[in-house]
Amino acid sequence: GKQAVLDELWASVRTTLKPPYKAVAHQFIADGDYVVVEASGQNTTPDGKLYNNKYCWVCRLSAGKLHELREYMDTQLVTETFQG
């Protein structure tokens, strides 16, 4: 649910990115219990590096609540930005 996303997913975001956190959704595709969101981030690390990743979130909803979230992104960009 919402609290799990805030506690588990955003916990690492709060330590690696400088507020305000920004992700812009470009496209939504819905089919039954699934919603797919294509988005891009426009963010900066605390030490000033740009971190503008691209995302695809696959969400499974049930009874109006989020039950599963899979995130696809450029993992090479993550490595380059946050290691070293």
pTM beyond 0.85: the answer is: no
Greater confidence, 4 or 52? 52
Is 83 contained in some domain? no
The reported pLDDT for the residue numbered 75 is 95
Using one digit for the tens of pLDDT, what is the confidence trace for 20-72?
999 999 999 999 999 999 999 999 999 999 999 999 999 999 998 888 989 99
44 contacts: CB under 8 Å, gap ≥ 6: 17, 18, 50, 51
Number of domains in the chain: 1
Is 27 contained in some domain? yes
Q: Which domain holds residue 8?
A: 2-76
Please tell me the distance from the alpha carbon of residue 38 to that of residue 27, in angstroms, as a whole number: 5
* 29 three-state secondary structure: strand
Assign residue 25 the CATH number of its domain. 3.10.450.50
Residue found by looking up tokens 């609290």 in the block: 3
